[in-house]
Structure 1
Amino acid sequence: MSITLHHHPFSRAAGTLWALEELGCPYELEYVDLQAGSHKQAEFKGLNAMGKLPTLVDGELVVTEAAAIALYLGDRYGLGELAPTPDDPARGTYLRWSLYAPSVIEPGCLAKAASWEFKAGSAGWGTYEEMLDTIEAAIGDGPWLLGERFSMADVIFGGTVRWMLDFGMLDKRPAFVAYADRLSERPAAKRATQINDRIRDERGLNG
């Protein structure tokens, strides 16, 4: 077993766990005690200088940043299935929405929540309203970002939409809620939720 995910259920690693479950490849979880500051210790920062989760180790390779990890896993273990091949016309759309999540949705929602003052033309995420319309257009008729084909882009983009809805940082448009509900019903998403819940219980993180 070569894949190790450094994980905490209250981090973005919870979504990486879902990606691994979608792939069905064997992996191990290495619990990182965020409350104790383990992620900022020298040993862990030797893997990830930012001291962040998720951090994935696959053999000798270390991959960080949630979207990058999911894209790597899709190409390495799900190419042609969860990840379109480079010559597949869907590849461009797949990459577009995978990278839209961390580069637009996350900062756009944070800017809205924190009432940042900025010029929309100078910020990579534009206006909050434009972002909402773009998310809705990306979902379209669904059920997935690539139509009938579920992909790792749905894990990245959809996982971000689910998270932002859960924390009240994204308007609950009907299309968003329906998309999030479809994602939550996926067997791999349910398994990941159960694993994250179990770890929270075992580590006493719920109280």
Structure 2
Amino acid sequence: MKLYHCPQTRAFRALWLLEESGLGFDIVPVDIRDEASRADATFRSASPMGKVPALIDGDAKLWDSGAIALHLVDSYPQAGLGPVVGEPGRGTFVQWVMFTNAVFEPALMEKFTNAAVDSSRSGHGSFPQMIEIVENGLQPGPWLMGERFTAADVLVGSSCHFMKLFGAMPDSPPIAAYIERCQSRPAFAAAQAVEAQASAGDE
């Protein structure tokens, strides 16, 4: 299994997910901020959009973090990353996986750009609505699927982490506590260590 990775990007999600899985994988470093690196034919074969993360697992070439999460959950059920097809809670789990790219990120971009959004027409609603949904989803907690930590927490949790990192965090004790729980996981720390080493190598 190969993960195309660039530090301080959405590839962190896939990296954290793989660290949680306990599966063996190799990292292929890519500087997506460099045009020549993005245009590399081998990389573009794995990621037609020229973005990370991209994962190669056998014949599977995946270049969306949600697709990567679902692939790992279903292909490696022994990793316990989430409910597989037919298992109770599968629909709710998939909904949270999709929520990250479909709702969280567009709402966060709205916050960054101070864009005026008509939530009745916007596919993602609004930033305040997104925050409310996450807060409600964490009840009773501690994770989005209750007592079970899943790949959905990796995706939503990483977005919450970056929201705080980039100074867009609202006053939300439930989300703040959730971020702390995510950051306390050994796999999160392992992924951050890989990121730090990769960043140091770029200097």
TM-score by length of 1: 0.91
- Map 1:144-183 to 2 at 5 A: 144-183=143-182
Number of aligned residue pairs: give it: 202
- The equivalent of 2:26 in structure 1 is 28
- The equivalent of 1:135 in structure 2 is 134
For residues 39 and 66 of structure 2, the distance between their equivalents in structure 1, rounded to whole angstroms, comes to: 21
Helix, strand or coil at the partner of 2:27: strand
Closer, same or farther in 2 for the Cα pair 1:184/1:80, shift >3 Å? closer
Shift of 1:59: 1.4
- The equivalent of 1:39 in structure 2 is 38
- Map 1:46-85 to 2 at 5 A: 46-78=45-77, 81-85=80-84
2:22–2:79 contact (8 Å) kept in structure 1: no
For residues 145 and 16 of structure 2, the distance between their equivalents in structure 1, rounded to whole angstroms, comes to: 19
Flag structure 2 segments of 5+ consecutive residues without an equivalent.
Answer: none
- Map 1:117-132 to 2 at 5 A: 117-132=116-131
1:98–1:156 contact (8 Å) kept in structure 2: yes
Q: Deviations over 1:87-139 (max 9, x none)?
A: 22211111111111111110011112212233211111112222111110011
Shift of 1:21: 0.6
Shift of 1:162: 1.2
For residues 69 and 11 of structure 1, the distance between their equivalents in structure 2, rounded to whole angstroms, comes to: 15
For residues 198 and 79 of structure 2, the distance between their equivalents in structure 1, rounded to whole angstroms, comes to: 32
1:109–1:170 contact (8 Å) kept in structure 2: no
1:55–1:63 contact (8 Å) kept in structure 2: yes
TM-score by length of 2: 0.93
Helix, strand or coil at the partner of 1:121: coil
Percent identity for Structure 1 against Structure 2? 34
2:14–2:68 contact (8 Å) kept in structure 1: yes
Flag structure 1 segments of 5+ consecutive residues without an equivalent.
Answer: none
1:144–1:154 contact (8 Å) kept in structure 2: yes
